[in-house]
Each structure stands twice: as structure tokens, then as C-alpha cells.
Amino acid sequence: MKAPSLRLDRLLANMGYGSRREIQLLGRQGRVTLDGAPVSDVEARVTVTPDLAARMVVDGEALDPPPGMVLLLHKPLGVTCSHKEAGPLVYGLFPPRWRRREPGLSTVGRLDKETSGLLLLTDDGALLHRIISPKSHVAKRYRVTLDRPLRGDEAETFAAGTLMLDGEDKPLLPAEMRALSPMAAEITLREGRYHQVRRMFAAVGNHVVALHRDRMGGLDLPESLAPGAYSVLDEDGIATIFAASAK
Ligand code: URA
């Protein structure tokens, strides 16, 4: 797809750097540079490619990822995947100006407040829908810590494709579970129902005490990424979400 081109003042305004007037001032004062040279004419068009973040500097700092960004966040415990609920929100982990971005950033699906791990966010609505579409078969893998020892029949129950959760009228798709220890398991889902993992273990008489997602499609949560930290995915990273080798 051809990269869009946009007037610089509009691009920066859409990225939350200020009003068009404020951006004009930034330009006049030489506080915006492209490839090392000041850009005084902020009405000039720029091609919006991901490498712009490495080439443009605003007020001494590298430009934020331009529109079309996909972030891999290590979601910490205790933050909510919502724009408006009370308490700490995932969006509070990013620079405040990102709240003024248009298009805005959204989480790709959700993790519960008390679930940690791999969470994708993007401002690309079409990509978001592609990732969550059942047609894309993007599997999600979780590490589960339990309150009670496994009985031994859970993997078979989850794999059957017949398990019905309380209050639902459609059975769950088959899911793969592997015991890691008597009270810990790894589970891979190909759908995402409300509190699904917690409700699956409740259905087999157990209780989830800790839940962590470590994989989506072919993408692993890097061990080097601390809770609350994030990285920007490049094209290869995005392709890995859909990688056929996804388990
Ligand atoms: N299943 C849950 O119960 N919670 C999550 O956050 C994700 C999957």
C-alpha cells in the first residue's frame, strides 16, 4: 500500500503535539527537524512512513510512532483495558499527548485488570479487526496458576469442544491445555470470551489465582520487556502475529 502523505502541521496535530497554530510556532522556532535539518514550513507535505520516527525530532525528542503503529505492551497487573473506567488504565502507560491522537489507540481485545502479559495496541482499525477475527486463527497462550491441584481430566475436557460456560448457549471451541506442575498449566485458546480462562477452570472445579498471556499468534512476549514497558512492532513483527507456525 502506498504510504499516505500529509501536511506536517496536520500530522503533528493528529499525533497530539498541539494545535496547528502551536505547531506553526514549533516550526518557526526551528524545533522540528527532518533528517537533521529544521523544517520551518510546516505546511509542507511529508510521507508518513514508519521510519519517520527515526528521522524527525520534535523539541529534542524522536517523533512518536506515526499513525499505523502497533505496540506490544507487557501489561502489568492492576491496570484496566479501558478508556474510561475508574482507576489506572493501560493508556496511562503512554505519553499523555497520545490521548489526543487521531486515530486513537485501542487495545486488541482485552486482558482483565488482574491478568498480566502480552497486549497489543494499535490505531489501525482494519488491522485490529483482522487480528481478532476468528478467520485469522490467532491463538492466544496463557500461563495459569491454580488454587488447587489439577484433577487430570482438564486437558481432555477443554479439547473436546463441548464445554459450555455458565450463562452461554454455544460450546467453547477446543482449547489445548498442558500441565506445567500440579497447580500450573499452559492453555491455548482460539477465541476470546469474557473471563474465558478463569471461567473454564471454574467449570472444572478449580480457581485461577494468577493469569499471564505470553504468546499471541507467533509472537512471544520478550523476556527483556518489563511489566509496563512496550515496543513498537515493525512489519515483520506484525506478520509474526499471523505466522502459520502459531501454536
Ligand atoms: N481469560 C481470562 O479469564 N482473562 C483474561 O484476561 C484473558 C483470558
| pLDDT for the residue 1 | 65
122 lies in some domain: yes
Query: What is the CB-side half-sphere exposure of residue 71 using CA atoms within 13 A?
Result: 26
- For residues 179 and 230, membership in a common domain is answered with no
Q: What is the CATH classification number for the domain harbouring 193?
A: 3.30.70.1560
Those residues with Cβ within 8 angstroms of residue 63's Cβ, 6 or more apart along the chain or in another chain: 15, 52, 53, 55, 56, 57
Residue 244: per-residue pLDDT:
64
112 CB less than 6 Å from ligand 1?
A: yes
Joined together, the cell numbers standing for residue 26 give 514549533
Q: Are residues 212 and 234 in the same domain?
A: no
Q: Which of 142, 200, 201 to mutate to test the pocket of ligand 1 (most atoms within 8 A of CB)?
A: 142
CATH number of the domain where residue 53 is located: 3.10.290.10
- Asked if 208 and 196 touch (Cβ cutoff 8 Å), the reply is no
Q: Which of 9, 51, 112, 147 is catalytic?
A: 112
Same domain, 52 and 173: no
Domain check: are 43 and 76 in the same one? no
Cα separation, 151 vs 7, in Å, equals 62
Domain limits for position 106: 70-134+223-241
> Is residue 59 annotated as part of the catalytic site, yes or no?
no
Please tell me whether residues 128 and 230 are part of one structural domain: yes
Instruction: Say if 246 falls within a structural domain.
Output: no
86 in the same domain as 199: no
Report which ligand 1 atom has the smallest distance to the Cα of 208. Answer: 3
Choose among 119, 116, 95: nearest CA to 107. 119
Query: pLDDT digit string (tens) for 191-221?
Result: 999 999 999 999 999 999 999 999 999 999 9
Does any domain span residue 204? yes
33: in domain: yes
Residue whose CA lies nearest to ligand 1 atom number 2: 195
Is 111 in contact with 161 (CB distance < 8 Å)?
Answer: no
In this structure, the answer to whether residues 234 and 185 fall within a common structural domain is no
Which range has the worst mean pLDDT, 33-37, 89-93, 243-247? 243-247
Q: Is residue 186 part of a domain?
A: yes
What domain count does the chain have? 3
**Confidence class for position 2, pLDDT limits 50, 70, 90:** confident
Q: Are residues 111 and 179 both part of a single domain?
A: no
Same domain assignment for residues 116 and 236: yes
CA distance from start to end of the chain = 29
* Residue 27 CB-half CA count within 13 A: 20
pTM for the structure as a whole: 0.95
- Ligand 1 pocket, 197 CB below 6 A? yes
Q: What is the Cα–Cα distance from 126 to 119, expressed in whole angstroms?
A: 17
Same structural domain, 144 and 86: no
Q: Tell me if 173 is assigned to some domain.
A: yes
Q: Determine the distance separating the centroid of ligand 1 and the alpha carbon of 115, expressed in angstroms.
A: 7
247, part of any domain? no
